[in-house]
Amino acid sequence: MALINAVNLSRSFGQTQAVDRLNLSVESGEIFGLVGSDGAGKTTTLRLLVGALRPDSGSASICGFDILTQTDSAREKIGYLSQRFSLYEDLSVLENIRFFAEVRGLELKDWKPRCMELLKFVGLENFTERRAGQLSGGMKQKLGLASALVSRPQILLLDEPTTGVDPATRQDFWQLIIRIVAAEGMAVILTTPYMDEAVRCNRLGFMRSGRIIAEGTPSQLRDRLEGQIIEMQTNAPIALREQVLKIAGVQDARAFGDKLHLRVAPLEAQQVIQQLHSLTGGANPRLIPATLEDVFISLTLSEEAGSHD
């Protein structure tokens, strides 16, 4: 059963259609990534799902409870780590999480063991007395996660949880999420503008202008790219790009650091690689798997082309 269900969810602010007939369902044990830029409608979607905003039309349910008519029951099931998640900087780690536990109505006898269990889980058990203001960015993030989990939610909503966090800390954070989702069968929605983050989700929705323009597992989305990607080494990507764009079958060429990425029409790859060999010699062109970024860009461009018809 889907723990999160949104049907034709829409919300506008003035002239801006922030969320536009969005459909979405996330099951137990699943991490769903909403991928898009600032302003694509990701945060508004989360705020509609927690009942902080009313939709103009459409509906959403959380564990079977309608978010508009059964708001309290629905909210009890939700843990929400918002982007502007604020800790009380002059309270200790334990006092911060205790505050969340009390707001969530945990009984006195329950909150302490639950909080300690979670602080241990996120690796903060030795820092209970430290003031939140003295924590590193990664530790703050972990305290935020622990606080969101304190009421044993079935649904976890994470709004750009690792923005500004370095890759090693990010990897730790993800290990925590993946482990707790597997252990407790939660359904998670996470938002991100970054593809190296998106690739860790079980399923993704690419979001643009309030709509989900493509949805699937990372592998399914990669398969949706029409054509293949060839990578080649070069010291002069800009100059080389002009040349390779003249080769028949090359649809796009983008500089990428010391490399050039070419998108080629289906079935043209071998022919193009041969021509690249004779054009450049040592550039070592080879087929690489399409990245999610390639897919996002090609879907967006074809979408834009379509909307101009």
Positions touching other proteins (CB under 8 A) are 31, 33, 36-40, 136-138, 163-171, 174-175, 178-179, 182, 193-196, 199-203, 208, 217-219, 233, 237-238, 254-259, 288-289, 293, 296-297, 300-301
- Using the minimum distance from each CB to other proteins, give the nearer residue, 54 or 286: 286
- Using the minimum distance from each CB to other proteins, give the nearer residue, 7 or 178: 178
- Using the minimum distance from each CB to other proteins, give the nearer residue, 128 or 169: 169
Q: CA–CA separation, 245 vs 281, rounded Å?
A: 17
Nearest distance from C-beta of residue 261 to other proteins, angstroms: 10
Q: CA–CA separation, 46 vs 230, rounded Å?
A: 37
- Using the minimum distance from each CB to other proteins, give the nearer residue, 6 or 292: 292
Residue whose pair of structure tokens reads 């879907």 in the numeric block: 299
Nearest distance from C-beta of residue 145 to other proteins, angstroms: 16
- Using the minimum distance from each CB to other proteins, give the nearer residue, 69 or 220: 220
Nearest distance from C-beta of residue 107 to other proteins, angstroms: 31
* 243 torsion bin: left (phi>0), alpha (psi -120 to 50), beta (else): alpha
Nearest distance from C-beta of residue 63 to other proteins, angstroms: 23
Nearest distance from C-beta of residue 182 to other proteins, angstroms: 5
Which residue in 205, 173, 166, 181 sits closest to 46, CA to CA? 205
User: 237-244 vs 269-280: helix axis angle to the nearest 10?
Assistant: 130
Which residue in 197, 162, 166 sits closest to 292, CA to CA? 197
**CA angle (3, 4, 9) in 5-degree steps:** 155
